[in-house]
Amino acid sequence: MKFIAGPCVIESAELLDIVAGRLVAINRRMGTEIIFKASFDKANRTSLGSFRGPGIDKGLRMLADVKSKWGLRLLTDIHEAWQAGPVGEVVDVVQIPAFLCRQTDLLVAAAKTGKIVNIKKAQFLSGADMRYPYEKALQSGAAEIWLTERGNSFGYNNLVVDFRNIPDMLAIAPTVVMDCTHSVQRPSAANGTTGGDRRFVPAMARAAKAFGANGFFFEVHPDPDCARSDGPNMLQLDDLENVIESLL
C-alpha cells in the first residue's frame, strides 16, 4: 500500500520541515513509507492573485533539502514539458496534473526522466479512458506508471467520485491511487478560490480501499484554514496518522 502526503504548495522551508518531520515519525511508528508531496508552482489557480509557490528553481532546492534532511522520497507535479528534466533530477515521482493528463508532450517528457510517473485522471474522463494517457507514457519509456482517481465534474463547482473508476484503472495499471483530498474539492466555488469539505476525506479513503485502491494521496497542513492553497479540502496534519491506521 502506497501513501503520498504533504502540503498543496511550498509555502516556506519551515512548513516543509514540520510536515516532513511528522511523516518520518508516522513511517517509523507504522512501518510505512509515505512519499512527500509539495508543488513548486500551482499553475492552475482560480484567480491571477492566488499564491502559486516559489517557482521551479527555489522550489526544487527546497525539495532537495527535504530529501537530504529527512530521507523521504519526493513527488511533485509538472505543467510544462521543459520542467520534466530538472524535476526528474530531484524527485522520485513525476506527477501529471488532472487537467493536463492528455497532453502528449508532457507525458512523453515525464516518461523520459526514468522516474515513476503518476498520472491523475482528468475530471472529464472515465477510468477506462485512462488507458490512452497510460499507453502514451508506457510507449515513451516509462518504467512505472501510477494512475490516480480524483473525482469527476458534477455540474458546476462540484465533483463526485465514481468509485467504479478504480477497478477500471486497475485493469490498466497495477497501482491506482485515490486522491482523497482533491476529490472533496468544490472547484471555483469560494469567491475566486476553490472550496471543499475535509470532513469527507477519511470516508473517501476507506471507500476507495473497498473498491481496490492500493495507493492513497493526502494533502496535509498543520493549519489548513490558514493554508495558501486548497485549505478547505486539506487534511489536518494531526489527523493523518489515524486515517492511515484505519486503512492499514
Task: Encode pLDDT of 51-77 as tens digits.
Answer: 888 999 999 999 999 999 999 999 999
Rounded to whole angstroms, the Cα distance separating 216 from 184 reads 14
Q: Which residues on neighbouring strands pair with residue 215, listed in sequence order?
A: 2, 177
Q: Are strands 74-77 and 116-120 parallel, antiparallel or unpaired?
A: unpaired
Rounded to whole angstroms, the Cα distance separating 51 from 200 reads 25
| Residues 205-246: tens digit of each pLDDT | 999 999 999 999 999 999 998 888 878 889 999 999 999 999
Query: Would you state the cell numbers that stand for residue 240, as one nine-digit string?
Result: 493523518
Per-residue pLDDT of the chain in tens (248 residues, 90 and over written 9): 999 999 999 999 999 999 999 999 999 999 999 999 999 998 876 778 788 889 999 999 999 999 999 999 999 999 999 999 999 999 999 999 999 999 999 999 999 999 999 999 999 999 999 999 999 999 999 989 999 999 998 888 889 999 999 999 999 999 999 999 999 988 765 555 567 788 999 999 999 999 999 999 999 999 998 888 878 889 999 999 999 999 99
Pair 14, 227: CB distance under 8 Å: no
Q: Which residues, at least 6 apart from 233, have a Cβ–Cβ distance to it below 8 Å? A: 181, 182, 184, 185, 194, 195, 196, 197, 198, 201, 219
Give the dihedral sign, CA 54/56/58/64.
positive
Quick one: what percent of the chain has pLDDT higher than 90?
A: 82
pLDDT at 138: 98
Q: Which residues, at least 6 apart from 105, have a Cβ–Cβ distance to it below 8 Å? A: 81
The cell 468509485 sits on which residue?
A: 163
3-state secondary structure of 177: strand
Nearest C-alpha neighbor of 135 from the set 172, 170, 109, 162 = 172
